[in-house]
Every structure is written in structure tokens, then in C-alpha cells.
Amino acid sequence: MSKVKTKFCCQECGTESPKWLGKCPGCNAWNTMVEQVEVTGKSRGFQSSLTQKKEKATSIIHIESSLENRILSQMGELNRVLGGGVVPGSLILVGGDPGIGKSTLLLQMSHQMTEVGLKVLYISGEESVRQLRLRADRLDALSDQLFVLCETNMESIEEAIDDMQPDFIVVDSIQTVFHPAVTSAPGSVSQVRECTGHFMRIAKIKGIATVLVGHVTKEGAIAGPRLLEHMVDCVLYFEGERHHSYRLLRAVKNRFGSTNEMGIFEMIGNGLREVTNPSELFLSERPLGVSGSTVVASMEGTRPVLVELQALVSSTNFPSPRRMSAGIDHNRLSLIIAVLEKRVGMFLQNQDAYLNVAGGVKLDEPAVDLAAAVAIASSFKDRPTQPYDVVFGEIGLTGEVRGVSRIDQRVKEAQKLGFRRIIMPRKSMKGWTPPEGIEIIGVETVAEALTAALD
């Protein structure tokens, strides 16, 4: 016989407790424990709907190795982030802030899948059919192979998938879907975990590529338990500022490709348009002959991106100076300032320092250290850098400039945009021939780099 058990589950991390607690012992969040009723002894819903045959263990050398067939969309930026296209049978999770453009991106993606001969099912639990039609009219995403279903019941969704047999599924969003066998409310940890498990089995057994839209918390992480990100094959984050037209698509997990790739889109009146040359975009409004501005060549996955670093150093009237950064880790900024004080002799203890990456890009590569140091020194000494210089290199605590990877790609990207001089680590110049028409200056210390850039 079935038994009814009561438990309390944290809505932030999924920690379970037999009694209510004001503070979650797992994530230390307050007032997140919610009562849930669990019925034991009943069969799980997915076991009755999807039956699997028993598998036997196989030696790995007897398994045939083959490359997975990928489905290519018309947006090259999306294909780049996914590792070369959508893999059939994969489960993809897309997260982002409200209103950033997740539904717009996936509706355009669904329309492009129909143009390559696929049958697409778009499941919406937040919008009506008329709302989706209005968005499709604006995006010009109308196709007779694009089917729309406004449903939140997991059993009804499974029946629709069995009847239609689609090749591609979009669920917007997973927090609105519920299973009747689970007594908790839609969006709870149990419902999200259960429904994601159903979609995972549908994707793997039937070979249907499935995209799930996930809400995010105020900290920017996917709402619900971390188990949700472990279950899927790929986790994408759609980032950007609401007041800017540019959007960034990043992969933080990808079982079929690199997690360092970045796709750049521009939000226009009729949808999202991919940006094929981001370096030219980020440098389009760069001022020339102004102190505190430096161009750095950074790598985003396999793509070199040239970005402007802006620094502002000004005297302070407070006992402790301010250190603020946008686009670069705050701790990295403090480290660079400490190196400039100790190894170069700059007195920055009574100076406020602000560092910004123009264009809203986030850079976490150590190769941007040297460019940040040059920008800070340029603003402190009020000396502008050369307008056609590109600087990159990692800084050590002893003031040395350490080598970085993918030198040839960085230099070729700078040469393509008309830059004439590169200040880079001397250790990275071994075994590599620079192209003609561009000057390469190798430096070993931060002091040498500042002398080359500012004198």
C-alpha cells in the first residue's frame, strides 16, 4: 500500500529535512523550506510511459566510434557556442534574465530548424498561442512545420510528443511544467527535477533534441537544484544589459564541445542578428589620444577578440581608496595595482582606481593583466598610449610578464583591424614567425612594457 510522507524541501538548493527549519542547513538561506507531500509505493510516471530494455555491460574497445551528426542552424554564432551545431538526442538548458531575449532566440532557432526539414514542437507554459503568433509575425518565423503547444501538464505533453513525433522540442519554461504524480507546486525542486527527468528520457530514447528554458535567481544562477545542470548535456547563459542592444551567449557546460566559446548577437526590431566581427564592434567608439585607454587581444574559446580597456585613476579624499572594476575580477585589479606599487614604484595608495571593459564584455583570461596595468599607468601619469598598439600578457607577483597561448591568432586579428604594433611577452615569441607589416615588441617585466607603451 502507498504511504503519505511529509517532508520539507529547500527551494534554493534542494536540501530535504523531516521538519521545518528557518535556515536551510545546505545553503544557509532563510525561509526557503517548503512543505511537500510525497506518496511512496506508487510507480513513477516515467516508468509507465517510457519502458527501457535492460542493457548489458560492453567492453569499450567493442563499441563503434563515430562522430555525432549535428544539425546546423543559420546562425553561426549559435553553432559556435554549441560546438558545431545541435546534436540529436541532446538536452540543452538555456538561462538568462527576464526580458533578455531567450524566447526570441529560441523561436528564431525553431524556425531555422524547420528550414532544414525538421518538425519542431514549441511548448509554451507562459504565453498563449496568440502571443506566440504575434512574436512569430515580428520575427518572420512562420512555417507549417513549426507547431505550438500551450500546455504545462507533463502527461499531456508526452501524449502530444507521441502523436506528433517531432525532431526538435523547445520547452519555455521548465519551471512552469508539472507532473500530476508529484504533489508539490509547479516550479518547486521536486517538480523541476521530475519533469527534467522526463524530458531527458524522451530526448535520449527517441533521439529528439530538446531545449529547456530555465529561470534564473537574483544572483544570476539557474533557479532550482544544481542537479538540473548536471542532468542536461549543455548549459547556456544568455547575458546582456537590457539598455544595450548586444547580447552574449556563453556555454558553461557542453558535453559535445568547448565551454569557452562565446556568441554575440544584436537585438534589433525584427529579432536577434549575429555579430560576425565582434572586435570591430567593441572598438567602434574607442577614443584616440586619451590617457587610460588600451586595446587588449583576448581569446574567447577559439576566437580572438580585441577589446578596449579603460582606466581612471584620481586622487581620493578618503583614508582608503576605492578599487572598482567592470568586466574584470575585482581581486585581479587589486593584484595589478599592488604589483605597480611594489615593482614599478607608482604611489597609488592615495588614488582611486576604476577599470572598465568597454562594450559590456567579461574577461577572465590572465592575458589581459598587462593591458590593465598599462591602462592604469597611462591614466595615473596622464600619458596616452599609441592609438595603434595592442597589449597582452600575464603578470606575475614579482613583476615578470609571463607567456600566453594562441599568439598567432591574436596578432592576425590585430593586423586585420589595422593595428601596427604588438606589446607581448618575450617568452611567447619562440618558435613563431610574426607576419610582415606589424612590429612585435617582446617584454619580460611590467616596467619594460610601460616604457614601450608610454614613452
CB burial string 65-95: b at 16+ within 10 A, e below: eeeeebbebebebbbbbbbebbbbbbbbbbb
Cα distance between residue 320 and residue 322, in whole Å: 7
Of the candidates 245, 244, 241, 200, which has an alpha carbon nearest to the alpha carbon of residue 93?
Answer: 200
- What's the burial of 4, exposed, middle or buried (CB within 10 Å: 0-12/13-18/19+)? exposed
Which ranges of 386-455 would DSSP assign to H, the alpha helix?
Answer: 407-416, 446-454
Residue 238 in contact with residue 100, Cβ under 8 Å?
yes
Cell of 276: 560576425
Is 208 annotated as belonging to a binding site? no
Is 98 annotated as belonging to a binding site? yes
Is 101 annotated as belonging to a binding site? yes
Contacts of 191 (CB under 8 A, 6+ apart): 177, 178, 179, 182, 184, 185
Residue 363 in contact with residue 329, Cβ under 8 Å?
no
Is 41 annotated as belonging to a binding site? no
Number of alpha helices (DSSP H) and beta strands (DSSP E) in the chain = 12, 21
Kindly give the pairing relationship between strand 91-96 and strand 209-214: parallel
Is 257 annotated as belonging to a binding site? no
Residue 289 in contact with residue 384, Cβ under 8 Å?
yes
For 303-356, the DSSP string reads EEEEEEEEEEEEE-SSSS--EEEESS-HHHHHHHHHHIIIII----TTEEEEEE
Is 137 annotated as belonging to a binding site? no
Which ranges of 207-295 would DSSP assign to H, the alpha helix?
Answer: 227-231, 278-282
Is 48 annotated as belonging to a binding site? no
Cα distance between residue 441 and residue 168, in whole Å: 51
Is 438 annotated as belonging to a binding site? no
**Binding residue ranges for ATP:** 96-103
**Binding residue ranges:** 96-103
